[in-house]
Amino acid sequence: MNDDFLKLTNIAKRYGTRVVVDHLSLTVHRGELLCFLGPSGSGKTTLLRMMAGLEIPDEGRIEIHGATVAAEGRSLVSPQDRRIGFVFQDLALWPHLTVGEHLDFVLGSRGVPRRRRPEKIEQALSLVRLHQRASAYPSELSGGEQQRVGLARALVTEPRLLLFDEPLANLDIDLKAELEAEIRALQQRLAITSVYITHDPGEAFYLGERIAILQAGRLVQVGSSPEILERPASDFVARLMRLWQVRGLRGAPDSDRHFAGES
């Protein structure tokens, strides 16, 4: 069976006259975690939203598990029916629902019978170590716990594809390191094909089996961490690797791990 799980072919997206994603092609393998790395405005969030069905590519084709979900300016499969899990940047938790109700709502939306939901909710909350907090509202949770709710919500329906939109961007360094480790362990344990976007090279190299580097909507290099570090494909990639390494050696604060790419 073909090992390609997510296939992007010649994807392009414009907002007005501004090209956000410029004819990008890429394949994500089954069970792999691929990180998109790029500065602000490089098109990585738009790309992720097109995979989720929240945006429609102007050109090109997106295939998930062999089925074409969007092609030539049309969405062929709605976001509801793509069976994906999504961890939003600002988490997008629903303030009026408890942790348990978040998962119940998602399971109900997917048509899971009511009697089977408690067990699934318990499992998902156990995965992210939140089973004691099922009756808490988002405003009653710490930052880390809120992140875990976002993760549990994405996992509860056993999605075939997990998408992460810079979920750790606004966290302090300790919590970020802790959650990075949890995400990596969970992804490896569950072997769900995942796409993770970030502007932090450290995060990308830690999490990604492969890293895809974006510059102004174009894909400039795809490869493993050693490949990119040893054989940067362009001056842009070489510069950002150098910058990141220099800052890392200087022991710069976490915010400085973010490379000063183009804006």
Partner 1 sequence: MRVEILNRQWTARSTIGLAGVLVFALSISPVLYMFVRSLEHNGQFTLAYYAQLLGEPRQRRLLGHSIQLAAWAALAGSALGVPAGLLLARLPQATALLLRFVLLVPLLLPPYILGVVWVFVMGRAGWLSRWMGSDVASVWAYSLPGAGLVLGLALAPLSMLLAEAARRAIPARLIEAARLVAGPSRTLARITLPLVASSLAAGGLLVFVLALAEFGVPSLLGVRVYTTEVFTQFAALYNFGAATATAAPLLLVVVVAAGLARILLGGRVLTSSLMAEQPLRLSSPARVAAQSYLILLGLLMVAGPLLVLMVEAGSWRALLDALVSARIQIGTSIALSIIGASLATGLGLLLGYWRARTTSGGRGFFDVGMLVLFAVPSTVVGIGLIGLWNRTGWTGAFYTSPAMIIIGYLARYVPLAALLLGAYLQQLPAAREEAAIVFGAHWWRMLGRIVVPAARLGLAVIWTICFIFMFGELGTTVLVAPPGTTTLPVRVYAIMANSPDQRVAELCLMQTLVILLSLGGLLAAVQVAGRRQKNGGKVDE
Binding site for partner 1 (CB under 8 A): 15, 46, 49, 52-56, 75, 78-82, 84-86, 88-90, 92-96, 105-106, 108-111, 137, 139-140, 153, 157
| Residue with smaller CB distance to partner 1, 82 or 176 | 82
9 beta partners: 61
| Residue with smaller CB distance to partner 1, 53 or 201 | 53
Alpha carbons 54 and 229: distance in angstroms, whole number: 33
Alpha carbons 127 and 189: distance in angstroms, whole number: 10
| Residue with smaller CB distance to partner 1, 102 or 258 | 102
Burial of 98 per CB tally in 10 Å (0-12, 13-18, 19+): middle
Shortest distance (Å) from residue 205 CB to partner 1: 28
Shortest distance (Å) from residue 129 CB to partner 1: 21
Shortest distance (Å) from residue 157 CB to partner 1: 7
Contacts of 194 (CB under 8 A, 6+ apart): 32, 33, 34, 161, 162, 163, 164, 187
Dihedral sign of CA atoms 106, 108, 114, 116 in order: negative
| Residue with smaller CB distance to partner 1, 52 or 241 | 52
Shortest distance (Å) from residue 81 CB to partner 1: 8
| Residue with smaller CB distance to partner 1, 111 or 226 | 111
12: its two tokens: 């392009």
Shortest distance (Å) from residue 150 CB to partner 1: 9
Secondary structure element (H or E) that encloses residue 187, with its range: helix 173-190
